[in-house]
Structure 1
């Protein structure tokens, strides 16, 4: 008889824990998807890209000759890295034939464009144009299957 009572208590305890887990999960706020930039900012970045970057990286961001693509494996290489690192690299080393000539706002717009082309969602705020504003934002880990 004691064995049946212990099993019944165990089943009741398990059911109670399950109910509590479901209640906690329902009460927890849903995490919003991280948004990185505005659509308008990505469009500005697209225009700057065509003027300053496409000659080397290709009109479709696919790379050319020895120049790496800015989609696909590029996204995989940067996945999880702070956006501040990429922004800093862009500011110091790009464009290749005139490094450091783009403004911080232009680099932020370019970064927004690159994020969009790699599947990051748009939001309601422009991507910051400062290292400090970008240090806690990470390059997204997932990209759409259609990206090169």
Structure 2
């Protein structure tokens, strides 16, 4: 009975975070191109070997595991690229995020990553 009550209460308090972020392989492929053109010069070709903060690996995942993808997207889309903050299309920022997810071991699926869903996902595996 307590487990049922807890489940019902949790459902009333807000939506649960989805375990795995949804993005497509096409988004990640497009994001790889955006990343190479707009991000790699500072963050490195492997997302963790440039002078800018790492975007892949254990430290990155640990740092961002308590935040939603929406939090990351906000920073990404308002402060990057450093030479033109906020200068990319929304789809380019989403695709770059899909590429970052892929490079951190998250698997693509059939549903595209969309701004409206970013609050539902974290970098937690």
TM range (shorter): 0.7 to 0.9
Give the deviation of 1:34 after TM superposition.
2.6
Give the deviation of 1:38 after TM superposition.
0.6
Structure 1 segments unaligned to the other structure (5+ residues): 1-31, 143-148
Given candidates 56, 80, 89, the residue that maps to 1:71 is: 56
Given candidates 112, 120, 123, the residue that maps to 1:136 is: 120
| Paired positions, count | 107
Equivalent position of 2:78 in the other structure: 92
Structure 2 segments unaligned to the other structure (5+ residues): 1-17
Give the deviation of 1:79 after TM superposition.
1.1
Deviations 1:100-135 (A, max 9, x none): 00111101000000001011121101100x2x3211
Equivalent position of 1:46 in the other structure: 32
Cα contact 1:63–1:70 (8 A) shared by 2 = no
CA distance in 2, matches of 1:37, 1:50: 19
Give the deviation of 1:63 after TM superposition.
3.2
CA distance in 1, matches of 2:45, 2:54: 10
Cα contact 1:39–1:122 (8 A) shared by 2 = yes
2:90 is the counterpart of 1:122? no
- Runs of 4+ aligned structure 1 residues displaced above 6 Å come to none
Per the normalisation by structure 2, the TM-score is 0.79
Equivalent position of 1:62 in the other structure: 48
CA distance in 2, matches of 1:104, 1:115: 17
Per the normalisation by structure 1, the TM-score is 0.67
